[in-house]
Amino acid sequence: MDLGIEIKEQGKNYSINYENASGWRRSLSRLIEDNVVFSPKDARELLKKEGDVFIYEVYNLWKTIPKVKEMSEKTGINCDVTVLNYGIISTSDSGELFFTYGHKHERGYAEVYTLLAGEAFLISYEEERQRMTAIHMEEGDEVLISPTSIHRLYCGRKGAVVAGLVPREAGHDYNAVKGRGMPYGVFLSDGKYDYQKNHKFKDVELDLSEASSGRTLEIFFETPEEVKRLLGMKSL
Ligand SMILES: [Fe+2]
């Protein structure tokens, strides 16, 4: 899928390049301040050792890339790309993997994430049902995120470049995560993935699910009405 961006691989991480890039970034200190990390102690030790490590960046392709902007204006669907670095929030080689803050949509719309490069986990928490789902994603995989879930990305053994399609009016509620994080964190412990239970949450069940390869990004440019329906938007 040619979104008009160039993805560069640098070791375990990725960067993206395009004309008039527009975005914002989050670093470790903010995740500590807002109390969304699994172990504040490990996070503060990392901060002390490595400084305010850059965790992820979000680029709003729909603002400046002509073909994306045109389709976004036509449909009301935003296309953002998240570049999540690889890393562990710890000074040892075991700990919580780097993640995005996480949010819930303010208005009930779904979202589609497509992994353009690297490796990631999408975790989504349905608070009413007290269930959390973790999905491992490889290049080309996509996941449909439910309108009611609180969702977050974790990196895998590499960083990740993820494209998201979401209605502009969906809105981001970060307070759903602030001060508590998510019910489970994705860890790398002795080279193996591991899900650790966050004791701020009680009795949340964890389901592991599979991603599927999909072509929603292509469909967005071909027959956008289909994507509008998928995301729960009313047709024109
Ligand atoms: Fe979202």
| Amino acid residing at 197 | K
Whole-angstrom distance, CA of residue 21 vs CA of residue 156: 25
> How many angstroms is it from 86 CA to the middle of ligand 1?
21
How large is the average pLDDT for residues 223-232?
A: 96
Q: How many residues does the chain have?
A: 236
Whole-angstrom distance, CA of residue 228 vs CA of residue 236: 9
Give the residue numbers spanning the domain of 213: 6-229
> How many angstroms is it from 183 CA to the middle of ligand 1?
17
How large is the average pLDDT for residues 1-25?
A: 94
Within-domain flag for 234: no
Mapping DSSP to helix (H, G, I), strand (E, B) and coil, where does residue 81 land? Answer: strand
Residue 105, token pair as written in the block: 């949509």
Whole-angstrom distance, CA of residue 236 vs CA of residue 234: 7
Q: Where residue 16 sits, what CATH number does that domain have?
A: 2.60.120.10
Q: How confident is the model at residue 1 (pLDDT cuts 50, 70, 90)?
A: confident
Tens of pLDDT, residues 143-168:
999 999 999 999 999 999 999 999 99
Within-domain flag for 35: yes
| Amino acid residing at 157 | R
> How many angstroms is it from 113 CA to the middle of ligand 1?
9
CA distances from 169 to 22, 54, 232 (A): 19, 28, 12
Tens of pLDDT, residues 56-73:
999 999 999 999 999 999
**pLDDT at residue 105 greater than cutoff 80:** yes
Within-domain flag for 235: no
> How many angstroms is it from 49 CA to the middle of ligand 1?
32
CA distances from 179 to 34, 39, 131, 163 (A): 6, 12, 19, 27
CA distances from 119 to 20, 40, 225 (A): 27, 25, 29
Question: Which of 153, 123, 118 has the alpha carbon at shortest distance from 139?
Answer: 118
Tens of pLDDT, residues 199-218:
999 999 999 999 999 999 99
Tens of pLDDT, residues 21-43:
989 999 999 999 999 999 999 99
Mapping DSSP to helix (H, G, I), strand (E, B) and coil, where does residue 130 land? Answer: coil
Q: What domain count does the chain have?
A: 1
Within-domain flag for 236: no
The pLDDT assigned to 235 comes to 58
Within-domain flag for 140: yes
What is the value of pTM for the model shown?
Answer: 0.96
> How many angstroms is it from 173 CA to the middle of ligand 1?
9
Which residues are 208's β-sheet partners? 134
> How many angstroms is it from 42 CA to the middle of ligand 1?
27
Within-domain flag for 174: yes
Within-domain flag for 179: yes
Average pLDDT, the chain: 96
**pLDDT at residue 236 greater than cutoff 60:** no
The DSSP code for 99 is B
Percent of the chain with pLDDT over 90: 96
> How many angstroms is it from 111 CA to the middle of ligand 1?
6
Within-domain flag for 73: yes
- The pocket of ion ligand 1, defined by CB under 5 A, consists of 111
> How many angstroms is it from 171 CA to the middle of ligand 1?
8
> How many angstroms is it from 146 CA to the middle of ligand 1?
9
